[in-house]
Amino acid sequence: MNHLHDPVDFNKSLEEMSEDERVRFLHQQMHEKHKGHDDMHALMLLILLSVLILSQFGLFEWKKRHYKSYLLVSLVALWLIPAAISVRNFWWRFVFFWSIFTMITCLVLQRSFEKPPRGNTPRLVYKWFLFIYKLSYALGIIGYIMMMMTFVGFNLLFSHSPQSWMDVSLLFIFYGLYYGVLGRDLSELCTDKIAIHIGYYNIEGIPTKTLPKDLCGLCAHKLFVSENDQGVIEDTYKLPCEHTFHEFCIRGWLIVGKKQVCPYCKEKVDMKKISLFNPWEKPHLLYGQLLDWLRYLLAWQPLILFIVQGINYIFGLE
């Protein structure tokens, strides 16, 4: 028989009560403490759902009507909010790597915003963000392989704790996705600025007279190898107009949107003939959806939850 709802003599101390009375007493105390909380929890859930729905509608309309400002604010939020959360929670490893990435990227951004741009700026932008692209891709692949190895039990050869392997794999995947998305958005910002400035200014450093065969037509620095040799660091490419460039210089030129024009003579050329791959050209729908999901998860979701907590605090629901 259940005695939980039987009355309890509150004049007794806990030591004087029997075991059943003590259980009933503690149960009634907990019931009194949480009395009315069901209504409060229902109201908090209603506020959460309302803010989520309204925020989704607002973000959709903002993205539809003012796409550039939406991307810029999303980029800033994606860049700063995870770092602020990490500082608050003392996740110093993330703060350390984020600080290194931020310092170097700010230097690249500063070069990209120069008026007029220097001849080696496209090369610098390309090399840095290509490095971030390859690093993030490698981290994602390593994390995925480690996760699959944990699922099949391969980790038992080295450790009896699958949780540690899973934590490391998820950490690698997170770093790969986060810096991959952030690097891609920042590279687009840099290249857009360079492309705009190239349209209005003469690029500083590009040779203006006869181009010597051993100089790059974009940065005016000496070529490492001829176009027929295999380079250790980078190759040399010759366009159909017979002008030659460092591999990273011409790749940097491509990602600023100048895909069919020679940087030196401005002649229209078919860049497809030199088979240069642009890693940021990702037309796949799934890839774009992944980027939007990550932006929402890391940039907008913390802001939405912060707004919900503020509303709950105003109404005294905490």
Rounded to whole angstroms, how far apart are CA atoms 105 and 5?
Answer: 66
Q: Which residues contact 72 (CB under 8 A, 6 or more apart)?
A: 189
> pTM of the prediction?
0.65
pLDDT tens figures, 146-191:
888 887 777 655 555 666 778 888 899 899 889 988 888 888 788 7
- Eight-state DSSP code of residue 12: S
pLDDT tens figures, 70-111:
888 888 988 998 999 899 999 999 999 999 999 999 999 998
pLDDT tens figures, 225-258:
887 777 777 888 888 777 888 888 887 777 655 5
What is the percent of the chain with per-residue pLDDT over 90, rounded to a whole number?
Answer: 11
pLDDT value at residue 38: 61
Q: What ranges in the chain are assigned the alpha helix state H?
A: 19-33, 37-65, 67-88, 92-112, 121-151, 162-200, 247-255, 285-295, 301-314
